[in-house]
Amino acid sequence: MGSGALRKSTEAEPQAAYASAEGAPAPVPATSGPSIDGQVRDAEGTGVDGATLTLISQTGRQLGRTVTRSDGWYSMPTPGSGSYVLTAAADGHQPRAATLEVGEEPLAYDVLLAGTSGPDDEDVSRAR
């Protein structure tokens, strides 16, 4: 994880983040600020290949999107310092969202995605 630059404010299911981004204009490439870098891992600690990470502004606008490499590592550029929502989703895993404070330096942030099956390997992705 990162140095003192990380202040994780909230962590929740990302439905609210996606809902606020619906109908938003096309994302603006986020390339001028420090990056958010880390690894997306499953419950066993293995890197998740092909997980999609989305950077969203506090007003719900999508600012960037990236996909993890085969080892689960990613790098997401940001438009600058500030507060952002980062969502992570991958097939077979529960999606996650976190509000991050990005400073002037790159921010290290790892994501843990839980599986969508219960103790008997029953699919619980649609459970309520």
Q: Residue 22 belongs to a domain with what CATH number?
A: 2.60.40.10
Q: Do 35 and 2 meet the contact criterion of CB atoms below 8 Å apart? A: no
Q: Does any domain span residue 30?
A: yes
As a whole number, mean pLDDT of residues 57-68 equals 96
Least confidently predicted of 62-66, 90-94, 117-121? 117-121
Rounded Cα gap, residues 103 and 84, in angstroms: 11
pLDDT attached to residue 18: 38
As a whole number, mean pLDDT of residues 87-109 equals 97
Residue 63's Cβ-count burial label (10 Å; 0-12, 13-18, 19+) is buried
- In the predicted model, is pLDDT for residue 10 greater than 90? no
As a whole number, mean pLDDT of residues 109-123 equals 74
- Is the model more confident about 80 or about 14? 80
Q: Does any domain span residue 127?
A: no
- Reading phi first (left if > 0) and then psi (alpha if -120 to 50, else beta), residue 82 is in left
Per-residue pLDDT tens digits for 16-56: 333 334 444 444 455 689 999 999 999 999 999 999 999 99
| Alpha-helical segments (H) within 25-88 | none
Q: Does any domain span residue 48?
A: yes
Q: Two tokens at 10?
A: 């909230």
Q: Give how many domains the chain has, as a whole number.
A: 1
Task: Supply the range of the domain harboring residue 87.
Answer: 11-108
Q: Two tokens at 84?
A: 């952002």
Q: Does any domain span residue 86?
A: yes
pLDDT attached to residue 32: 80
Place of tokens 């996909």: 67
Between β-strands 107-108 and 73-77, what pairing exists: parallel, antiparallel or unpaired?
unpaired
